[in-house]
Structure 1
């Protein structure tokens, strides 16, 4: 995952009055949900062949023509490597995919999702430097992380909304359909059927999560922090390591080394800065280094396997 993990919470806040001129279909600013709303509607179209309600107020073409747009957008979205992540990238994909259609319709579709209009887009520059820290390949834009999802000092479970551009093109069709059917079952108060459908979803490593009264289909990720090995929960300092990681879900995993709550895991990562941070923690005798001879987690796990 690189030398840092950055967990970003989904912004679900309501817009201020000054944002009211650039609202997407969900009543929040395009910066927050424009890309996600389009990704959601494309996936929904793949399952139901239905275009979103309210779109006809923004465009002049028929529902049949709108269905044709979403077929093309679905194909273009799946072929994009990687899928668009920003409002600007998404607007360019829409414009390129629907360039043979009426200008008014293309602009109406963009306005419906609060995406940038063609005349507001600047020319793409080449060779632009990456905004990610050195060694980081990608970010996971997760939903809010539950403290219960922290297994120990070096492992955490997170969920990423399937409307995220990185996820939207890879959701299994049976999961999409189960999520839609589950929502209908709950609306009909058929809770046994809804529970059975949710199990079908979780068996595929997905989950429906309720955030601020909105149900979100999300992909589950179990993340093992690179380069460190923290004490297991049953070991001395295991509880402290787990609590520290829970407090650092937006921080870097190497902080655990600085606080003396993990070993440098040289079997998987030999970066010198990690070795130096462990050395400094040892010298200061902080955390687990307050003990004279703390047991290494890998040796402890070996003993457990061998029944010692």
Structure 2
């Protein structure tokens, strides 16, 4: 047993053995009433995993209850703990924080089923670690002043583009920022859905997916692998596209589709609007999407909400060249169009 693992186990061994009623189950599993999955802190998950690896080294038994969170057999679970014991002993420096332990688990079991890795982390209340799915991030400028946070999205679907200034994106929950805030019931539903699909119980799997969707998440198939992702509706900052029934409304949407569909995006989030959408700047393979839309004359600079001079200049350049919607001598402003429709109703 590695020194770091022995130290962690020693820290919790005396108290846990007197309070959890630990013992061995008749089915080859390690009985532990510590209730890993409901641990209130990831730190407790670190010590619980260290203890269970130690017990596995002594008994060759895995924790009872783990099978409720993973899809593979007890024989496969024993293989995991053998690998984790070796990896922990060889790691230099040894992992101590929940994030470090999660990374060790993912790297050690990266060739195993994703549902099993996520289920194991969920069992111990550990945060989901870096995604094993390759996501192409755009070569965007550094985070601008005032940005609250940054999103690196999964590839965008065509149906996700609502119009020329709104797009729905998904971010993998294995992204470190997202991993910290995935609701426990969503993690459990994702694991249970994978088990239901493996058993071909598609009715149960669909019901669990609806539960996931209702919580603002979705299971996506990326490179033939199921990924749990969080949904974000993005309103492109600083521009306003013509509505679909207005001149160039269709063209604006089609251009945004050409720019983002099938690609991973970098999104800098600055605010949230009254409809619950995140207001942000979108970059795709180094291209600033709002700049492209303005220069093609397909959107307006939304000067009432964004005073950036470069956006004003890009609109003026397109207007001077009379391209896109500026081919009309007096195009109707989309915000005035919406106001007129509200007043008519």
TM-score by length of 2: 0.55
Distance change (3 Å), C-alpha of 1:109 and 1:292 = closer
Which residue of structure 2 lines up, in the alignment, with residue 112 of structure 1? 108
**Residue 59 (structure 1) aligned with residue 85 (structure 2):** yes
| CA deviation string 1:102-152 (max 9, x = no partner) | xxxx9x8697379xxxxxxxxxxxxxxx97154355432111111211111
Map 1:1-308 → 2, pairs under 5 A: 54-57=80-83, 59-60=85-86, 73-74=97-98, 77=99, 93=100, 112=108, 132-135=142-145, 136-249=147-260, 250=284, 251-252=287-288, 253-307=290-344
Distance change (3 Å), C-alpha of 1:306 and 1:209 = same
Structure with more contact order per residue of length (Cα contacts < 8 Å, sep ≥ 6): 1
Which shifted more, 137-146 or 268-277? Answer: 137-146
Between the aligned partners of 1:110 and 1:187, the Cα distance in structure 2 is: 21
Question: Which runs of at least 4 in structure 1 moved beyond 4 Å after TM superposition?
Answer: 47-53, 108-111
Between the aligned partners of 1:52 and 1:254, the Cα distance in structure 2 is: 54
Is this contact kept in 1: 2:80–2:109, CA < 8 A? Answer: no
Distance change (3 Å), C-alpha of 1:283 and 1:179 = same
TM-score by length of 1: 0.62
Report how many residues are paired: 216
Between the aligned partners of 2:338 and 2:324, the Cα distance in structure 1 is: 20
Distance change (3 Å), C-alpha of 1:61 and 1:138 = closer
| CA deviation string 1:180-219 (max 9, x = no partner) | 1111111122212111111110011100011222110000
Give secondary structure in 2 for the equivalent of 1:221: strand
Unaligned runs of 5+ in 1: 1-40, 63-68, 78-92, 98-105, 115-129
Distance change (3 Å), C-alpha of 1:53 and 1:132 = farther
| CA deviation string 1:237-261 (max 9, x = no partner) | 0111111111222131222111101
Is this contact kept in 2: 1:179–1:201, CA < 8 A? Answer: yes
Unaligned runs of 5+ in 2: 1-44, 50-64, 71-76, 89-93, 111-139, 261-283
Give secondary structure in 2 for the equivalent of 1:140: strand
Which residue of structure 1 lines up, in the alignment, with residue 22 of structure 2? none
Which residue of structure 1 lines up, in the alignment, with residue 116 of structure 2? none
Is this contact kept in 2: 1:228–1:254, CA < 8 A? Answer: no
Between the aligned partners of 1:157 and 1:271, the Cα distance in structure 2 is: 24
Between the aligned partners of 1:271 and 1:298, the Cα distance in structure 2 is: 19
Between the aligned partners of 1:155 and 1:282, the Cα distance in structure 2 is: 23
Distance change (3 Å), C-alpha of 1:242 and 1:110 = closer
CA RMSD of aligned residues (A): 3.4
Distance change (3 Å), C-alpha of 1:193 and 1:155 = same
| CA deviation string 1:154-187 (max 9, x = no partner) | 1111101100111001000010111111111111
Give secondary structure in 2 for the equivalent of 1:170: coil
Between the aligned partners of 2:183 and 2:195, the Cα distance in structure 1 is: 19
Between the aligned partners of 1:110 and 1:209, the Cα distance in structure 2 is: 20
